C-alpha cells in the first residue's frame, strides 16, 4: 500500500505542485522501513517508508501519540538525547544516511533545523537569538552577522516590527513574534530542511495566519515538514500530506487529493472529524 | 444539590482548616520573635558600647562594703541595674547597681557592685573627666594640673588649661603615629633587607663557598643597614621620651592624686557636660575609631580593623575557590554523568559532607593543606628559610581553602538545582541550532542558572564568614602584626596569619583576663560580624537580582 501511495505522490506532485522548481528531487528525504522504540516494549514507529520531496511543504497529520513528532525529531536526531532509544531501518537526506556513524550530528542539525511547538527564545537580545547558530559555529564577523540578521528577520516577516529594538531582550516579544523569531533563528544559517513541530498550536488566529503565509513563502527555498493537528492548516499550507495512526503511516498523497478523496477509510474518518 | 448548598459546605470545610492557619502561623512568629530578640540584644549592647553615658558619683553610707581605699565616694557609669537574691537563709532580694569605675591601676578592678541601700546620695559632677588611655583602661577623675616639660604648671582652673591639654593630646597622638610609622614601616623594611641577606648567605653550602667579593658586599650592606637601624631606633627613642615629658595630674573620685603622661592619652572628654548632639558626635567618632584602628591591650581596647579586614579577605578568597570548584563538579554531576546508582550515591555523599562537624574540616585542613601542601611548597621553594615554615604553617590561603572545602556541598547542591530548573525547551533549541553540548551549557544553561549559583554562594559565604572552629587550626591568630594585603611586594601575602571577627569574639569573651571589661567589645564585634555578613549577602543578592532580570526564562 505504501508503495502505491508513494507512486501516486510522485505523479500528483508533478501535477498539483507546479511551484516546485525544476530539478527538485522527489525523494529528497527517503525513509525506508524505519522503526523506532523508546524502550524495548514501547514501539512508537513501525516500518515507516516514505519519500519527502524537495522544496515543498509536507504535513504530518494524525491523532496524538501516533508518532509523527517522533519521526520529525529523528530527521535531525534530536531523539539522540533520550537514553534507551533504539531504531531500525534507514533515513537518507539528500542521499546521506543520517544514522551513519561518521556523520557528525552537529553538522546534521545545522542543515536540518527545527522549530518547536513552544517558541524558546534564549534569554538574550533579538539580535543574538537570530545569529546564535552562527555564533556557535564560530562565525563572529560583525558585518556578516548584521546582514544575516536583516535577511533572516525579513525572511521571517519580523524585520519591520523589531528593527528598532534588535538589542532588546527577545523575551519581550509576543507569542507570535517569538515563533517568527524562531523561524528567523532557524533560517539564519541557510539550512536545507525546516522541521516544524506544531508551530502554531499556541498562537491566536492572526499570528497563525502570518506564520502560514510565511511557510508558503519559505518553500521556495527550503524543504518544509510540518506536524499539525489543524486539518485546515494542512490544507492551506502543504503540498503533500501524510496521515499517521498508531505508529504506522497509513497514507501519503498530495494534499488536495488526500482531503478530497482519501484512499483509506481511517484517513477519511480522521479528516472528517469522526474520531481523533 | 443546589449551588447554594454547595457554597455553604465549602465554607464549612474551609472553616475547619482555620486552626491550622493559626497553628502554622504561631511557629513562624515564634521563630521571628527569637530572631528579633537576639538581634535587638546584640544591637542594643553593641551600640551602647560606644555611647558616652554620663558618670555618676555616689556617696556611700558609713561602713559600706562597696567602699574602696577607705573612701566613701565612688564614681563611674552605670552598666547594669539588677536585683540580687542574697545568699543568706532568708534570701532577701537586694536591688543593686554595677558601676564601671575605671582607673584600674589604682583600684585593681574595673567594676563595682553597690547596693541601693548603701547609697546616701547621687550626683553627676560637671568637672569629672574621662580619658581613654593606652594602658590600664579608662581614667575617671578630676583634672588637677598639667606639669609641662619646661617645668611650668597649669592649674585646671587656669583659662589656658583646656586649650593646652587639647593641643598636647593632639600632638601626642600625632607623635604616636610617627613612632608607629618608624617602628613598623621603616625598621620593618630594614629587617626585611637583613632577612634577605641572611637568606642569600644560607643559599651557599657553607661560609667558605661564598665568593670574597659577594661576602664583602654583603657585609658592607649589612653594616649600612645596621647604621640605618640605629639611627631610626634612636629617633624613635627620643620621640618616646617626648611622649612622657608632660604629665596630667588628676584626683581620683575616691582619694589621692595620680598622674598620667599626656602621650598615653588617646582621647578625653567631660561626660557630664555633653549635650545630646555632642554625645551623638562622640558616639560616631568612637564607632569610627573602632572600625578603623588596631586593637590595644590584649584586644580589649581600641579597634578591630585587622579582624574586619582578615574576615573580608578570607571570605573573598574562599568564594574565589569554592565557586569554580562547586560549579564544575555540579555540571559534571548533572549534565554529563549518567544518572544511576553511582551518581546518586555521590550526591548523597556530597550532601552528607555538609553535615560533617566543621572542626573535622579544620583537622583535615591542618593535615592536608598546612602540613602536606604547605610543607611541600616550603621544601620546594622556600628551603633556605627552613626550619622556619613559610607556607607550612597556618595562613589565610589554607584557611580559605579549608572553608571552601567545607562549603562546597552548598554550592554543588544549589548549582545542581539551578541547572535542573533550566527548561528543556531552551536546551533543545540550542542543540537544534547546531550547538554542541558544552556550547549549550556555556552559552545558555550556565547564564540562566547563574542566579541559583549565586544563591549557593551567598549561603556558603554566610556560613564561611561566621565559622571559627576550623580556622583556629589553620591560620587565625589572636593578634596578627600584618595584614594579608598591603603595600609591600608582592602585595598579597597568602601565607600570612590573620585575624578574624568570629575568633575575636571567642578570644575576647572567653580568653581575655578581664572578660567583664571585654563584654562591650564582644557585643560590638558580634554586631559588626553580623553587619559584615549582611553586607556581603546584600551585595550578592543585588547581583543575583540583576542577573535574574537579565536571564529570566520566557513565560510564554
Q: What ipTM was assigned to the predicted interfaces of this complex?
A: 0.82
Bridge partners, residue A61, by sequence: A243
Contact B425 A116 (CB under 8 A): yes
| B14 domain residue, yes or no | no
Residues B486 and B409 reside in one and the same domain: yes
Which strand (E) or helix (H) includes residue B20?
A: helix B3-48
Last residue of a domain, one of B274, B300, B329: B274
Last residue of a domain, one of B500, B517, B545: B500
Q: Which of A116, A123, A202 is facing B551, going by the closest CB pair?
A: A123
pLDDT digits (tens, 9 = 90+) for B100-109: 888 888 888 8
Q: What is the pLDDT of residue A11?
A: 42
Q: What is the pLDDT of residue A7?
A: 44
How distant, in Å, are the alpha carbons of A260, B166, B260 from that of B138?
104, 17, 11
Q: What is the pLDDT of residue B24?
A: 92
Q: Which of B426, B435, B556 is facing A178, going by the closest CB pair?
A: B556
pLDDT digits (tens, 9 = 90+) for B109-167: 888 888 888 888 888 988 899 998 888 888 899 988 888 888 888 888 888 888 888 88
Least Cα separation, residue B347 to chain A (angstroms): 21
Q: Distance between CA atoms of A150 and A187, rounded to whole angstroms? A: 12
Residues B479 and B442 reside in one and the same domain: yes
| B510 domain residue, yes or no | no
Q: Is A180 on the interface with B (CB under 8 A)?
A: no
> For chain B, what is the mean pLDDT?
85
| B335 domain residue, yes or no | yes
DSSP single-letter state for residue A82: S
Residues B115 and B166 reside in one and the same domain: no
Instruction: Supply the range of the domain harboring residue B267.
Output: 145-274
The upper half-sphere exposure of residue B115, i.e. CA atoms within 13 Å in the direction of its Cβ, equals 14
Are A58 and A239 within 8 A, CB to CB?
yes
B206 C-beta neighbours (distance < 10 Å), count: 6
Residues B423 and B460 reside in one and the same domain: yes
- What the block records as the C-alpha cell of A82 is 533520550
Contact A133 B428 (CB under 8 A): no
Q: What is the pLDDT of residue A6?
A: 42
For strand B295-296 and strand B301-302, is the pairing parallel, antiparallel, or unpaired?
antiparallel
pLDDT digits (tens, 9 = 90+) for A210-253: 888 888 888 888 889 999 888 888 888 888 899 888 888 888 88
Contact B433 A202 (CB under 8 A): no
Quick one: pLDDT band at residue A88, thresholds 50, 70, 90? confident
Q: Cβ contacts (< 8 Å) between A107 and chain B: which residues?
A: 434
Q: What is the pLDDT of residue A103?
A: 83
pLDDT digits (tens, 9 = 90+) for B303-353: 889 999 999 899 999 999 999 999 999 999 998 888 889 999 999 999 898
- Judged by average pLDDT, the poorest of A1-15, A89-103, A136-150, B274-288 is A1-15
Q: What is the pLDDT of residue B16?
A: 62
In chain B, the residue whose alpha carbon lies closest to the alpha carbon of A187 is B433
Q: What is the pLDDT of residue B224?
A: 87
In chain A, the residue whose alpha carbon lies closest to the alpha carbon of B433 is A133
Q: Average pLDDT of A50-67?
A: 87
Q: Which of A109, A171, A202 is facing B432, going by the closest CB pair?
A: A109
Q: What is the pLDDT of residue B15?
A: 56
> What percent of chain B is modeled with pLDDT above 90?
19
Residues B336 and B261 reside in one and the same domain: no
Q: What is the pLDDT of residue B485?
A: 80
Residues B364 and B317 reside in one and the same domain: yes
Place of cell 581596647: B301
Q: Average pLDDT of B518-544?
A: 87
Residues B349 and B469 reside in one and the same domain: yes
Q: Cβ contacts (< 8 Å) between A78 and chain B: which residues?
A: 428, 431-432
Domain of B411, CATH number, reads 1.10.3720.10
Structurally, chain B folds into a number of domains equal to 3
Q: Distance between CA atoms of B385 and B196, rounded to whole angstroms? A: 10
> Interface of chain B against chain A, CB under 8 Å?
338, 423, 425-426, 428-436, 439, 443-444, 447-448, 550-554, 556
Q: What is the pLDDT of residue B103?
A: 86
Quick one: pLDDT band at residue B17, thresholds 50, 70, 90? low
Amino acid at each position: 500500500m505504501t508503495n502505491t501511495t508513494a507512486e501516486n505522490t510522485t505523479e500528483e506532485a508533478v501535477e498539483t505542485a507546479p511551484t516546485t522548481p525544476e530539478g527538485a528531487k522527489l525523494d529528497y528525504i527517503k525513509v525506508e522501513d524505519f522503526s523506532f522504540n523508546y524502550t524495548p516494549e514501547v514501539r512508537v514507529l513501525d516500518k515507516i517508508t516514505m519519500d519527502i520531496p524537495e522544496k515543498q511543504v509536507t504535513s504530518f497529520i494524525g491523532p496524538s501519540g501516533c508518532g509523527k513528532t517522533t519521526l520529525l525529531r529523528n530527521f535531525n536526531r534530536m531523539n539522540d538525547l533520550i537514553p534507551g532509544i533504539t531504531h531500525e531501518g534507514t533515513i537518507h537526506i539528500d542521499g546521506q544516511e543520517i544514522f551513519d556513524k561518521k556523520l557528525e550530528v552537529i553538522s546534521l542539525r545545522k542543515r536540518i533545523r527545527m522549530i518547536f511547538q513552544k517558541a524558546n527564545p534564549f534569554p538574550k537580545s533579538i539580535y543574538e537569538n537570530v545569529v546564535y547558530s552562527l555564533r556557535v559555529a564560530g562565525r563572529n564577523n560583525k558585518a556578516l552577522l548584521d546582514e544575516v540578521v536583516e535577511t533572516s528577520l525579513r525572511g521571517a516577516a519580523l524585520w519591520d516590527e523589531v528593527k528598532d529594538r534588535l538589542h532588546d531582550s527577545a523575551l519581550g516579544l509576543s507569542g507570535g513574534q517569538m515563533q517568527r523569531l524562531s523561524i528567523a533563528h532557524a533560517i539564519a544559517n541557510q539550512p536545507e530542511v525546516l522541521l516544524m513541530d506544531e508551530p502554531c498550536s499556541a498562537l491566536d488566529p492572526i499570528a497563525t495566519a502570518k506564520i502560514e503565509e510565511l511557510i508558503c513563502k519559505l518553500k521556495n527555498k527550503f524543504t518544509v515538514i510540518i506536524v499539525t493537528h489543524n486539518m485546515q492548516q494542512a490544507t492551506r499550507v502543504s503540498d503533500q500530506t501524510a496521515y499517521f495512526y498508531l505508529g504506522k503511516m497509513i497514507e501519503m498523497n498530495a494534499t488536495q487529493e488526500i482531503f478530497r478523496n482519501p484512499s483509506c477509510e481511517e484517513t477519511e474518518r480522521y479528516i472528517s472529524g469522526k474520531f481523533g | 444539590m443546589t449551588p447554594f448548598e454547595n457554597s455553604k459546605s465549602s465554607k464549612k470545610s474551609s472553616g475547619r482548616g482555620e486552626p491550622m492557619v493559626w497553628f502554622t502561623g504561631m511557629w513562624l512568629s515564634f521563630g521571628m520573635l527569637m530572631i528579633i530578640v537576639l538581634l535587638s540584644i546584640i544591637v542594643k549592647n553593641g551600640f551602647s558600647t560606644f555611647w558616652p553615658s554620663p558618670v555618676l558619683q555616689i556617696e556611700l553610707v558609713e561602713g559600706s562594703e562597696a567602699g574602696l581605699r577607705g573612701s566613701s565616694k565612688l564614681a563611674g557609669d552605670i552598666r547594669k541595674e539588677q536585683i540580687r537574691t542574697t545568699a543568706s537563709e532568708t534570701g532577701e532580694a537586694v536591688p543593686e547597681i554595677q558601676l564601671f569605675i575605671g582607673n584600674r591601676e589604682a583600684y585593681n578592678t574595673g567594676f563595682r557592685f553597690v547596693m541601693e541601700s548603701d547609697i546616701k546620695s547621687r550626683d553627676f559632677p560637671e568637672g569629672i573627666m574621662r580619658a581613654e588611655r593606652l594602658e590600664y583602661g579608662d581614667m575617671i577623675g578630676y583634672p588637677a594640673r598639667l606639669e609641662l616639660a619646661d617645668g611650668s604648671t597649669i592649674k585646671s582652673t587656669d583659662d589656658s588649661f583646656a586649650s593646652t591639654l587639647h593641643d598636647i593630646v593632639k600632638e601626642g597622638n600625632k607623635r604616636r603615629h610617627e613612632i608607629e610609622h618608624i617602628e613598623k614601616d621603616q625598621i620593618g623594611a630594614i629587617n626585611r633587607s637583613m632577612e634577605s641577606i641572611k637568606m642569600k648567605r644560607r643559599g651557599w653550602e657553607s661560609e667558605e663557598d661564598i665568593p670574597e667579593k659577594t661576602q664583602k658586599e654583603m657585609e658592607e650592606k649589612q653594616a649600612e643597614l645596621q647604621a640605618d637601624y640605629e639611627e631610626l631606633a634612636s629617633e624613635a627613642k627620643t620621640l618616646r621620651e617626648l611622649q612622657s615629658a608632660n604629665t596630667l595630674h588628676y584626683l581620683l573620685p575616691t582619694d589621692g592624686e595620680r598622674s598620667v603622661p599626656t602621650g598615653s592619652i588617646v582621647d578625653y572628654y567631660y561626660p557630664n557636660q555633653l549635650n545630646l548632639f555632642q554625645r551623638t558626635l562622640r558616639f560616631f567618632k568612637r564607632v569610627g575609631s573602632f572600625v578603623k584602628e588596631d586593637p590595644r591591650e590584649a584586644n580589649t581596647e581600641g579597634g578591630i580593623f585587622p579582624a574586619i579586614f582578615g574576615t573580608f579577605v578570607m571570605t573573598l578568597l574562599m568564594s574565589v575557590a569554592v565557586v569554580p570548584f562547586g560549579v564544575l563538579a555540579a555540571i559534571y554531576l548533572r549534565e554529563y554523568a549518567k544518572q544511576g546508582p553511582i551518581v546518586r550515591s555521590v550526591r548523597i555523599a556530597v550532601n552528607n559532607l555538609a553535615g560533617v562537624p566543621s572542626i573535622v574540616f579544620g583537622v583535615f585542613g591542618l593535615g592536608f593543606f598546612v602540613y602536606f601542601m604547605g610543607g611541600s611548597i616550603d621544601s620546594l621553594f622556600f628551603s633556605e628559610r627552613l626550619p622556619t615554615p613559610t607556607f607550612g604553617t597556618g595562613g589565610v590561603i589554607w584557611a580559605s581553602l579549608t572553608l571552601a572545602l567545607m562549603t562546597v556541598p552548598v554550592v554543588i547542591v544549589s548549582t545542581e538545582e539551578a541547572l535542573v530548573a533550566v527548561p528543556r525547551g531552551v536546551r533543545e533549541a540550542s542543540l537544534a541550532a547546531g550547538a554542541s553540548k558544552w556550547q549549550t551549557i556555556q552559552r545558555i544553561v550556565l547564564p540562566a542558572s547563574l542566579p541559583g549559583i549565586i544563591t549557593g554562594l551567598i549561603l556558603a559565604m554566610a556560613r564561611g564568614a561566621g565559622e571559627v572552629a576550623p580556622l583556629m587550626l589553620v591560620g587565625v591568630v589572636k593578634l596578627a602584626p600584618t595584614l594579608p594585603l598591603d603595600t609591600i611586594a608582592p602585595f598579597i601575602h597568602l601565607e600570612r596569619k590573620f585575624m578574624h571577627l568570629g575568633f575575636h569574639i571567642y578570644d575576647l569573651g572567653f580568653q581575655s583576663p578581664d572578660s567583664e571589661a571585654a563584654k562591650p567589645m564582644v557585643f560590638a564585634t558580634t554586631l559588626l560580624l553580623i553587619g559584615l555578613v549582611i553586607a556581603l549577602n546584600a551585595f550578592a543578592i543585588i547581583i543575583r537580582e540583576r542577573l535574574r532580570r537579565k536571564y529570566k526564562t520566557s513565560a510564554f
